[in-house]
Structure 1
Amino acid sequence: MSSSTLDKDFPVLVAIDFGTTFSGCAYAYTPHDKVPKLISEWPSQNMHYAKTPTVSLYKKANGRHKMAAWGWNSTMQRGPPGYGNLLLYKYKIHLDENVDMPAWTHPVSVPNAISDYLKALHDYAAEKIGQELGRRFTRKDFRYCLTVPAMWSDRAKDTMRKAAVRAGLIKQSDHPDRLILVTEPEAAALYCERECKEYNLKHGDRFLICDAGGGTVDLIVYDITESAAGRSLAEVTKGHGASCGSMLIDLNFGNLLIEKFAGQSANIPDDIIPKLVEKFAYAHKPHFNGVDDLYVELPWVSFFNSLKDPDAIGIDEGVMCFAAAELKEKVFDPVVERVLALIRDQLDKATKCSAIFLVGGFGSSTYLLNRVTKEFGTKVKIISKPHRPEIAVVFGAVYAGMEPRKVTARVTRCCYGVGGNGNSRGGSIPVFVVDGNPPRYTTNLSSSAFIRIPDVFKATDPAGHEVPYKLKFYFGLSEIRVEAIVLGRSHQTRLQFDDIGVKPSR
């Protein structure tokens, strides 16, 4: 479906940045809007931030768990321990098949948790968009861009698309182009290409995008090409990343608090550490510069009055001091060093680079910017975090929907091959997906995906009757599109997989 047809049939473009820790939404009325509009108000929002937490609260009724709240409301309505409510978070990271995570043991599956959250966020966003654009536009006028990490496998992307269908963003029968998946660093690159013209990047320049979020850090390098048709981008390196986002910094800070309080009191109330970590994450973490000590105001609870020697752990008159050197060593550097290694690897592969842009929630960190500048400032002339780095991905996703051909070349992540038996799995063609170099022999490969094609055989066809077909693979976008031509008719489809970690909710 062409871009002009999409604009006509679905004039409202909605982008959802589904993140590990926070999610956001922006939109544009494509016939007129040149700059996206951000949804910046969320239910029960208790701070000025463009996103809402990727958190869901489930309550059990009639033997089944049903989502009762999402976003900021989830923690507010959880209730005290013992109520039996189920608070789910960080479920997105479980779609990354390369992350060593504890098994998901909750009664709500990961795909179902994602689809429940997407439905709630989409319902709210659609209502807000309707209020702002006017009631003449409804969901039937929407098309969507949904962001995914660059390091995700095709299977993980397929699971995300299925979750979006279950959430009601689109129907299974809709044209696939009504929902496109765009990788987070690519969306960020499109944002930076538009928003960072003051850096005067020109034809032939290369820039690195480091999209550092709460759960993952994704990186990729792009070439800029200018021609009579305008400016376009091309991937230089294979997108790479790791699950080393800022939630690990929060975890390290929590462990530091436990270490400090352990020698001061035999009993630490369950809610003390989470509350202090939350305050640190929202109010202090982005502004830590690695030089100034950090002072955290403590809540007025009796626990702090019961400590044996509060002075020994930096507590004075309701304020707790953390030395900058200690925070660097125990909280920030274990994570920042991993990010620096990822950047170093991309720069080595790109051989030259004119700029590094830090985006995402973690990308707004002053300390991360300082460390990247110190490490690579002599090799890369521009190191910057653009205006409002936390919205770079969601705005860039809107730009991706407006100009889906802006990125003209991408680096293939895997090798693909098809099986020769077109009627295996009852009208499906097996596809072999191999990460890395092409295998020399295929005898030990198991199929990773399948292409669904219609059953063209008739009951009267004799045994051994053959029907020729032709397959065409299209690798241009984040998802691989396949065209099967059977008896002269074209059938459009995508690689399809079994969901990751699907199990029924009890």
Structure 2
Amino acid sequence: MLAMDVFSAAIKYMKEHLLHKLSETGDTETKKEEIRWVLTVPAIWNDTAKSFMRESAIKAGIRGDCLTIALEPEAASMYCKRLPIEMLNDNLRVQNEGFQFFSQGNQYLVLDAGGGTVDITVHEVLSGDRIKELHKASGGAWGGTYVDENFFDIIKEAVGKEKFESFKKEDLAGYNDLRKDLEVKKREINTESTKISFTIPNQLAQVIPKDYNPEILECKKGKLELKVPGIKKWFSEICDSIVSHVEELLEEQKKKQRNIESILMVGGFSESSYLQETVKTAFPNKHIIVPNQAGLAVLKGAVLFGHNPQIVDSRVAKVTYGVNTLSKIQDERDVPDKSRIRTINGVKYEKNVFSKHVTKGDDLVIGQAQEEKTYFPIYPDQKSVQFSVFSSQEENPKYVDGCKRLGSFDVKIPYTTDGTDRKVVVRFIFGGTEIKFECEDANGEITPYTFDWSENAEEECFGMAVERGES
């Protein structure tokens, strides 16, 4: 089954569940097209992944113009900004020092520890209740589900992988009960815990060797008891990875002379006492803020974001963006790789040149176009131009070779009277959670364009030259 079908089916179920609940209340006034649907995604996801979620939602029957993609750390920030200070748990130290967490000018790190990923970014509070992203989102696969995997790896070491897989297959109910117990205990356990017990299914208990290392775990009377070494093995690798990444990010902010005093912990895994205590121990001089019901911060914040996405003033570009172009050659000696030279109508061009619109690390203000570029058609009778869009981890890529092709969009230029003197001005509009494009023709008419993420763009784009005057 295709991933698109799986995601689409899940979204469709949630959509129909909501509509059913509305009908049960006797609501006859709310129309489907009046509902603003908000999908949250990890901030570390790339543009292709966000587009995948949008396409899945559209396939599930949600109209594209009624759909908003929200980044999870931003949604969580929006929710926490609305909470009274007593619901931001910092052992009352915040209140005693008269510290206002969301006061204008305050800069803080958001640690969004969810089930699969951990998103880490830095925000600043602006006037008008707005927030600004100071550092591009980063993180990794350090969420709560990976802690679960570590737990089951410990059991597999004791009983053997084959026996454990056999248990899962033959006693699925027992396995699910163990997972539920694990979810509860995962939140309760802390760095001072000397042991923790789980109710274990009989079939699994029977295959755990009685002489297995008792310093790690023991199984007796239907209970699995995990000792200190086992607990550390269970949590430490994941928690240490999170702390190490936060340390690196804070050091980077220090070099930029930013004063990050606080860490806001949200997401389901942030409810883990072990993770909270690990972070507080690692950063004793920081305010560690964990709101009540941290696991619901993203969900509730998404509702706020849907009503007011403009509350996020700007974001930081995670990659460099540009389009594939031809560049007119002034001197062939400047092109050492002769295979890049293409002759069209007697004019020599260098192909696969990366024409940059956004540089990695740029501040992307919502609704504002980034650096615009002017392009011209190569052929006098050309009636359309295909722009293939690429991203790169480099700040100044020269060619699109080795860059990631995101997709393409086509600009129609039907009137051929001016031949190759017909300019097309291209603008990338970022700052929102998704990329938008607009083009301006020679008459000053501006047209927004839809981006085709199918990646079916031509390998080489011969429809334009880079700079004004190169046509």
Which deviations, in whole Å up to 9, do the C-alpha atoms of 1:109-163 show, x marking residues without a partner?
A: 2222211211122111222244458221131211122111111111221222111
Distance of 1:400 and 1:136 partners within structure 2: 23
Distance of 2:72 and 2:261 partners within structure 1: 21
Question: Is 1:117 matched with 2:10?
Answer: yes
RMSD: 3.1
Q: What is the letter of the counterpart of residue 385 of structure 1?
A: V
Distance of 1:241 and 1:224 partners within structure 2: 22
Q: 1:255 deviation in Å?
A: 1.1
- Which residue among 186, 204, 208 is the counterpart of 1:285? 186
Distance of 1:427 and 1:476 partners within structure 2: 26
Q: What is the letter of the counterpart of residue 228 of structure 2?
A: A
In structure 1, the partner of 2:116 is 215
Q: What is the letter of the counterpart of residue 35 of structure 2?
A: F
Aligned residues of 1:205 and 1:223 also touching (Cα < 8 A) = yes
In structure 1, the partner of 2:426 is 471
Question: Is 1:321 matched with 2:225?
Answer: yes
Q: 1:463 deviation in Å?
A: 11
Q: 1:470 deviation in Å?
A: 1.9
- Which residue among 29, 42, 62 is the counterpart of 1:169? 62
When residues 239 and 127 of structure 1 are mapped into structure 2, their CA distance, relative to the original with a 3 A threshold, is same
In structure 1, the partner of 2:395 is 437
More moved, 338-347 vs 270-279? 270-279
When residues 154 and 315 of structure 1 are mapped into structure 2, their CA distance, relative to the original with a 3 A threshold, is same
Distance of 2:395 and 2:28 partners within structure 1: 52
Output the TM-score relative to the length of structure 1: 0.68
Question: Is 1:388 matched with 2:293?
Answer: yes
Which deviations, in whole Å up to 9, do the C-alpha atoms of 1:403-444 show, x marking residues without a partner?
A: 2221212111122223356699965322232123122x2263
In structure 2, the partner of 1:250 is 148
Q: 1:267 deviation in Å?
A: 9.4
Q: 1:231 deviation in Å?
A: 2.2
Q: 1:306 deviation in Å?
A: 6.5
Residues 178-327 of structure 1 aligned to structure 2 (within 5 Å)? 178-195=66-83, 197-198=85-86, 200-201=100-101, 202-226=103-127, 230-262=128-160, 269-271=167-169, 274-275=175-176, 277-292=178-193, 293-299=195-201, 301=202, 304-305=205-206, 309=210, 313-327=217-231
In structure 2, the partner of 1:366 is 273
In structure 2, the partner of 1:409 is 314
Distance of 1:191 and 1:291 partners within structure 2: 31
List runs of 5+ in structure 1 lacking aligned partners. 1-107, 501-506
Q: 1:371 deviation in Å?
A: 0.3
Question: Is 1:153 matched with 2:46?
Answer: yes
Alignment length (residue pairs): 378
Distance of 2:404 and 2:30 partners within structure 1: 43
- Which residue among 431, 440, 454 is the counterpart of 1:498? 454
Q: 1:236 deviation in Å?
A: 1.3
Distance of 2:237 and 2:178 partners within structure 1: 17
Distance of 2:166 and 2:452 partners within structure 1: 48
Q: 1:248 deviation in Å?
A: 1.1
More moved, 307-316 vs 360-369? 307-316
Q: What is the letter of the counterpart of residue 414 of structure 1?
A: V
Q: What is the letter of the counterpart of residue 442 of structure 1?
A: Y
Distance of 1:432 and 1:332 partners within structure 2: 39
Aligned residues of 1:217 and 1:242 also touching (Cα < 8 A) = yes
Q: 1:447 deviation in Å?
A: 6.9
Q: 1:456 deviation in Å?
A: 3.9
In structure 2, the partner of 1:55 is none
Question: Is 1:353 matched with 2:255?
Answer: no
In structure 2, the partner of 1:128 is 21
Q: 1:278 deviation in Å?
A: 0.8
Distance of 2:298 and 2:383 partners within structure 1: 39
Aligned residues of 1:453 and 1:484 also touching (Cα < 8 A) = no
SS in 1 for 2:152: helix
Distance of 1:217 and 1:321 partners within structure 2: 29
Q: 1:366 deviation in Å?
A: 0.7
Aligned residues of 1:190 and 1:399 also touching (Cα < 8 A) = yes
Distance of 1:164 and 1:337 partners within structure 2: 36
Which deviations, in whole Å up to 9, do the C-alpha atoms of 1:316-340 show, x marking residues without a partner?
A: 2222211133211x21111111111
SS in 2 for 1:385: strand
Question: Is 1:452 matched with 2:409?
Answer: yes
Q: 1:498 deviation in Å?
A: 2.5
When residues 377 and 196 of structure 1 are mapped into structure 2, their CA distance, relative to the original with a 3 A threshold, is farther
When residues 415 and 463 of structure 1 are mapped into structure 2, their CA distance, relative to the original with a 3 A threshold, is same
When residues 319 and 223 of structure 1 are mapped into structure 2, their CA distance, relative to the original with a 3 A threshold, is same
In structure 1, the partner of 2:347 is none
Aligned residues of 2:390 and 2:400 also touching (Cα < 8 A) = no
Distance of 2:453 and 2:161 partners within structure 1: 51
Q: 1:464 deviation in Å?
A: 4.8
List runs of 5+ in structure 2 lacking aligned partners. 87-93, 95-99, 326-374, 457-471
Aligned residues of 1:473 and 1:483 also touching (Cα < 8 A) = yes
Q: What is the letter of the counterpart of residue 438 of structure 2?
A: E
Higher alpha-carbon Rg: 2
Aligned residues of 2:108 and 2:124 also touching (Cα < 8 A) = yes
